[in-house]
Amino acid sequence: MIYEKYIRVLYLDLTTKKIRIEHRKDLYSYLGGVGVASKLLEENLKPELDPMDPQQPVIFAIGAASTIFPVVTKTVAMFWSPLTGELGESYAGGRMAMTLFLAGYDAIVITGSSSKPTYITISRNNVEFKDARAFWGLSCDEVGRVVREREPGGGKRSIIRIGPAGENLVSYACVCVDTYRHFGRLGLGAVLGSKKLKAISIVGDRDLPIKNFKDYFKVYQEIYNKVTDTSIMSKYHDAGTPVNIEPLNAAGGLPTKNLRQNVFEHGDKISGETFAHKNLVRKMACTGCPVGCIHIGQFRREFDKGHEYEAVSVSYDYELLFALGSFLGIKSSDEVLQLIEVVEKLGLDAMSTGVVLGWATEALAKNLITLEQTLVPLAFGNTQAYITAIEYIAYKKNEFYSILAQGAEKASEIYGGKEFAMTFGKNEMPGYHTGYGSVIGPTVGARHSHLCNGGYSIDQSMKEFDKEKLVEKLFKEEKERCMLNSLIICLFARKVYDRETILAALNSIDYNLTNEDLDAIGERIYKTKLRIKKMMGYDGKNVRFPKRLFETPSMSGQLDEKVAYELLDMYNKKVEEMMAKEDA
Amino acid sequence: MKVYLEVGSFLKRFTSEQTNLEINISGDKTAAEVVLSAGVPEEEIGFITVNGQKVDSDYVLKENDIIRVYPIIVGG
Ligand code: SF4
């Protein structure tokens, strides 16, 4: 809590409906965000029970600098992922961090499960468990609307909720946050579904006077100017991440048609430029961010044959254009937006959904599965078939779709085709086939995301491939991001928040930290995550790489499986050495 | 001698909104030199192709070469 030497934790138990608040001085050395959330997950986890057991905890936490400085907008969620069977960690922007901050909570721990559908309302002085039976079955946007209508606090309120996919325990169901933001990855939606928790509404309306305003404002302004007056962030507003389609496609790093190709022959039809010309209608921002990188695109849909049209708006970014575009061979921006809309309504992770469907498409072509199972003729470029298949996944239409709803790894274990089930540590791949960094990064990353250590970005900046250097950079970046995610900075602004800026920011609000402290915090958090992963049964030596990664050339040329395993060993050794050391 | 420079939608902000430039150069010039002198800052250059092939920044240009500059890959 700002200006206090403790972390204020709200504990909610859905089974007993008990609420308690604790001021945890012992968590202060974890700063906030992912540090605090990791520690709370470690404490509350029940390793002897199933990951989806209702007793398992879900943690939400904001960071040490949340809302107080520009572009520090994220809330972290930590849980036991039903998709990978290990560490679940996901970030969302929107208004949630601001409302938690102004409601006076640094973290929330949710345990237990409700016997009937429930939603929770949280404010400064009150927490209530409310009946959500009438909401069960509603899509993410519908439930958002009804909670908005019922609950007060507009403007200072954040609403998070699950859709049918979460209710039906799809392992990669997401949680929708406010408008167009998500806890997308690793299946938090299913975990809330297992607790019968449909939505949470948070109202934050405290006023928080800033002490020592002069010092604070000076730092604030410096950061604000860096964000708004330099080109570091303007590219995120102007072109946004969809700009990536063009260079990745030209360089041979764009995963296409289940990574059978690294170049998409119709890449120009789904490029950032095409979306900007044909579909872009506005841009939005998370609360507390002067950048506004959220690109909203529109497509026209006929109400019914021969009737009028409606304009449908959805947000799009690079990862969505890859997963529901090139990866599925979709040839127009309108069709990509149609797929995004279905995923959004049902409450699925777009990246996993696209990659899972890529596997299914190829498995059908190779006769590992049949049309009787898929019910629709899945084929690259067939948008209508994919729309129906996405609905079948969310509702687990038959046995095949129930298995597909558990991810590409699980489906390939049962039906075969592991060599083209494009997962890293059981999490579906992100949109970069850039080199060894993009392969090793998410494999060793604590949550198997490209955002754990930015391996794809290291591929781009490394002039010459060097094994030692790559492993060292990944390891260093993984720890650094543990520290950044304890604040919790939007990672798009990581170049704005260098060490000097972070220290100036935190020390202007009464922290007293040094560079060495930040190193120690990063390492402490990383070690906590690794301990949790071990509790969940993870062993870094047991991961596999899908063969396809070494068949289709990457942006850096053909990759060698042996080299990948060598890099993995090197990384694992570093982890072992760190774990053997005492905490700094 | 004459070379051609193509600039994509994002980078054209650095070339006064021009996307296709015809450039006269004298003596040996590298692809990177031409891109930089057209106004694209070094930190914004992802990579460069000449006649459709990715080249190193020290590639020496020939008559009628078509240079294309791509932005860096962005993300978290
Ligand atoms: S840069 Fe984009 S994602 Fe990051 S805080 Fe700003 S609007 Fe949100």
Could you write out the DSSP letters of every residue in A11-29? EEETTT--EEEEEEGGGGG
Nearest to A268, CA basis, from A315, A208, A324, A326: A326
H-assigned helices in A104-251: 140-150, 164-167, 188-194, 213-229, 231-238, 245-251
Residues of B in Cβ contact (< 8 Å) with A238: 10, 13
* Whether residue A367 is found in the same domain as residue A439: no
- Neighbour tally for A5: CB within 10 Å: 10
* Whether residue A271 is found in the same domain as residue A359: yes
Total structural domains within chain A: 3
pTM of the complete model: 0.97
Ligand 1 centroid, distance to A245 Cα (angstroms): 19
Q: Is A397 exposed, middle or buried (0-12, 13-18, 19+ CB in 10 A)?
A: middle
Average pLDDT over residues B53-63: 92
Assess if residue A457 is contained within a domain. yes
Residues of A in Cβ contact (< 8 Å) with B13: 238
DSSP A420: G
> How confident is the model at residue A119, as a pLDDT?
98
DSSP B30: B
> Contact B10/A241, CB-based, under 8 Å?
no
* Whether residue A387 is found in the same domain as residue A248: yes
* Whether residue A148 is found in the same domain as residue A37: yes
> How confident is the model at residue A408, as a pLDDT?
98
Query: Residue A477 sits in a domain of what CATH number?
Result: 1.10.599.10
Distance CA(A74)–CA(A51), nearest Å, equals 25
Ligand 1 centroid, distance to A131 Cα (angstroms): 33
* Whether residue A443 is found in the same domain as residue A570: yes
> Contact B10/A243, CB-based, under 8 Å?
yes
Q: Do residues A106 and A7 touch, judged by C-beta distance below 8 A?
A: yes
B72 in contact with A, Cβ within 8 Å:
yes
Q: If you measure CA to CA, which chain B residue comes closest to A450? A: B76
* Whether residue A163 is found in the same domain as residue A271: no
Give the gap in angstroms from C-alpha B71 to the nearest C-alpha of chain A.
7
Assess if residue A465 is contained within a domain. yes
> Contact B8/A238, CB-based, under 8 Å?
no
- Which of A89, A91, A185, A235 should we substitute to test contact with B (largest number of B Cβ atoms within 10 Å)? A235
Kind and range of the H or E run holding A34: helix A33-44
> How confident is the model at residue B57, as a pLDDT?
83
Q: Do residues A85 and A51 touch, judged by C-beta distance below 8 A?
A: yes
Q: Do residues A433 and A408 touch, judged by C-beta distance below 8 A?
A: no
* Whether residue A441 is found in the same domain as residue A418: no
Comparing CB atoms, the residue among B49, B68, B75 nearest residue A241 is B75
> How confident is the model at residue A583, as a pLDDT?
66
**Main-chain dihedrals φ then ψ at residue A198, nearest 5 degrees:** -85, -35
CA A31 to chain centre: 21
Distance CA(A82)–CA(A426), nearest Å, equals 10
> How confident is the model at residue A584, as a pLDDT?
60
Distance CA(A338)–CA(A323), nearest Å, equals 13
Residues spanned by the domain of A515: 433-583
Nearest to A528, CA basis, from A33, A49, A127: A33
Measured CA to CA in angstroms, residue A57 lies from A60, A79, A110, A201 at distances of 10, 6, 6, 19
Q: Do residues A204 and A98 touch, judged by C-beta distance below 8 A?
A: yes
Both structure tokens of B53: 């092939």
* Whether residue A333 is found in the same domain as residue A403: yes
Q: How large is the ipTM? A: 0.92
Ligand 1 centroid, distance to A529 Cα (angstroms): 25
Assess if residue A476 is contained within a domain. yes
- Give the position, in ligand 1's atom list, of the atom nearest the Cα of A71: 5
Query: Residue A169 sits in a domain of what CATH number?
Result: 3.60.9.10
Strand partners, B67: B5, B50
**Main-chain dihedrals φ then ψ at residue A196, nearest 5 degrees:** 55, 35
> How confident is the model at residue A373, as a pLDDT?
98
Ligand 1 centroid, distance to A182 Cα (angstroms): 12
At residue B63, the 3 state secondary structure works out as coil
Non-local CB neighbours of A448 within 8 Å, separated by 6+ positions = A84, A424, A425, A426, A427, A442
Last residue of one domain, picked from the residues A387, A403, A424:
A424
Which residue segments constitute the domains of chain B, with CATH numbers given?
Answer: 2-71 (3.10.20.30)
Measured by CA distance, the residue closest to atom 2 of ligand 1 is A293
At residue A91, the 3 state secondary structure works out as strand
Measured CA to CA in angstroms, residue A390 lies from A135, A136, A277 at distances of 21, 19, 28
Strand partners, A381: none
Rg (CA), chain B: 12
* Whether residue A159 is found in the same domain as residue A269: no
Last residue of one domain, picked from the residues A176, A204, A232:
A204
Measured CA to CA in angstroms, residue A290 lies from A227, A234, A237, A286, A484 at distances of 8, 10, 9, 8, 19
Give the residue, out of A294, A315, A319, A451, with the most ligand 1 atoms within 8 A of its beta carbon, to mutate for a pocket test.
A294
- Give the position, in ligand 1's atom list, of the atom nearest the Cα of A93: 8
Place of tokens 């309108």: A334
* Whether residue A273 is found in the same domain as residue A368: yes
Nearest to A314, CA basis, from A279, A288, A349: A279
* Whether residue A277 is found in the same domain as residue A328: yes
Assess if residue A209 is contained within a domain. no
Residues of chain A with pLDDT under 50: none
Residues with CB under 6 A from ligand 1: A 71, 73, 93, 236, 285-286, 289, 291-294, 490, 492
Assess if residue A560 is contained within a domain. yes
DSSP A579: H
A241 in contact with B, Cβ within 8 Å:
yes
> Contact B49/A250, CB-based, under 8 Å?
yes
At residue A345, the 3 state secondary structure works out as helix
Measured CA to CA in angstroms, residue A484 lies from A75, A488, A503, A531, A532 at distances of 12, 6, 12, 20, 20
Both structure tokens of A464: 């010459």
Assess if residue A252 is contained within a domain. yes
Sheet with strand A280-284: strands edge to edge: A280-284, A294-302, A309-316
Query: Residue A362 sits in a domain of what CATH number?
Result: 1.10.569.10
Q: If you measure CA to CA, which chain B residue comes closest to A451? A: B76
